[in-house]
């Protein structure tokens, strides 16, 4: 599985890159190799296979998330911004906490990252969000969400959306089902995650 993930992350892929502006940050391959090993350990420790979940897809999803989180962390460090993040979290979802916590006007503000697939970027031009979180755990939704795309260790950050606007968009979306991820989800147009919002958000961070 390790080599399959390496091929998926660094192999030749076609990205037609729609005409959206973005910030870009690279993550070293050695660090990604470590993420893959950690993801496999996390899957085994938390018993995802015993729960009947697709282990390969879950491993890939964890690695994808950690790569984009690392890229965002590096951007914040470059700008000398205060932040706290959960890192390579092991444990149940309830205790995971926010992807990132930053400070705006002295107040701690949460930021979540959504990593999208090539099809979501190029074909659907949309961002998926778990239906159960929207329907039953609104209090756990971050104050802002940043959408990212990762290819060969290069992460593109396309923009951000506020919690208020995200909830409004999800409320208008229909419920869909992903066989690969074995969960229901809703989608928001990629255009709603504006780069201007991301730049303004980072500019307000202390």
* Neighbour tally for 64: CB within 10 Å: 23
At residue 4, does pLDDT exceed 60? no
Least confident window among 71-75, 88-92, 142-146, 200-204: 88-92
Please give the span between the terminal C-alpha atoms of the chain, in angstroms, as a whole number.
41
Report pLDDT for 164.
98
Phi, psi for 126 (deg, rounded to 5): -145, 165
Predicted pLDDT of residue 5: 41
For residue 83, count CB atoms less than 10 angstroms from its CB and return exposed for 0-12, middle for 13-18, buried for 19 or more: middle
* Residues in contact with 14: Cβ distance below 8 Å, sequence separation at least 6, in sequence order: 118
pLDDT at 140 over 90: yes
Q: Residue range 111-122: average pLDDT?
A: 94
The pLDDT value recorded for residue 89 is 60
Percent pLDDT > 70 in the chain is: 85
Calculate mean pLDDT across residues 75-99. 79
Tell whether the model's pLDDT for residue 11 goes beyond 50: no
pLDDT at 86: 83
Binned at pLDDT 50, 70 and 90, residue 97 comes out as confident
């Amino acid at each position: 599985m390790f080599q399959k993930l390496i091929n998926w992350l660094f192999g030749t892929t076609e990205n037609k890159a729609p005409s959206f502006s973005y910030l870009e940050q690279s993550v070293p391959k050695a660090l990604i190799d470590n993420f893959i090993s950690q993801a496999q350990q996390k899957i085994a420790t938390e018993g995802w296979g015993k729960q009947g979940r697709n282990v390969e897809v879950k491993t890939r999803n964890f690695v994808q998330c950690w790569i984009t989180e690392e890229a965002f962390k590096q951007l914040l460090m470059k700008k000398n911004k205060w932040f706290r993040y959960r890192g390579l979290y092991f444990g149940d979802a309830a205790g995971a906490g926010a992807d990132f916590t930053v400070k705006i006007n002295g107040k701690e503000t949460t930021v979540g990252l959504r990593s999208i697939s090539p099809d979501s970027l190029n074909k659907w031009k949309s961002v998926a969000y778990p239906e159960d979180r929207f329907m039953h755990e609104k209090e756990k939704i971050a104050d802002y969400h940043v959408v990212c795309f990762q290819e060969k260790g290069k992460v593109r950050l396309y923009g951000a959306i506020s919690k208020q606007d995200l909830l409004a968009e999800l409320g208008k979306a229909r419920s869909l089902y992903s066989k690969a991820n074995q969960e229901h989800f809703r989608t928001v147009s990629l255009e709603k995650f504006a780069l201007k919002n991301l730049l303004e958000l980072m500019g307000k961070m202390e």
